[in-house]
Amino acid sequence: MNIFLESKGISIGHLTQNIYDLSQEVEAYLVERSQVAKKLRSDYDKLDSQTKARLLREGIKPGLPGWNTKINEMQEALRQNLIII
């Protein structure tokens, strides 16, 4: 198998390193997303009931699809801020 891959210009070592690097990126993304989700939930829990009702009318409440959209937006904003700095 190794000889066949090498004949095609594919290195097992490079593939292994690329897979490892990708797994590290995925792990960092998931950790970041978890932190953003916790912060968003913490901030949401501090809101008064009137504000929560307004957000619900917009489809934003933990567990609803709009909630995941907000997490995505916050994560993207965080990423853009990190790039600017």
60 in Cβ contact with 70 (< 8 Å):
yes
pLDDT at position 83 over 80? no
The string of pLDDT tens digits covering residues 5-24 is 888 888 888 889 999 999 99
The string of pLDDT tens digits covering residues 36-74 is 899 889 999 999 999 999 989 988 899 888 888 888 888
Q: Which residue has the tokens 């000889």?
A: 3
8 in Cβ contact with 26 (< 8 Å):
no
Instruction: Enter the pTM of the model.
Output: 0.67
Between CA 16 and CA 22 the distance in angstroms is 10
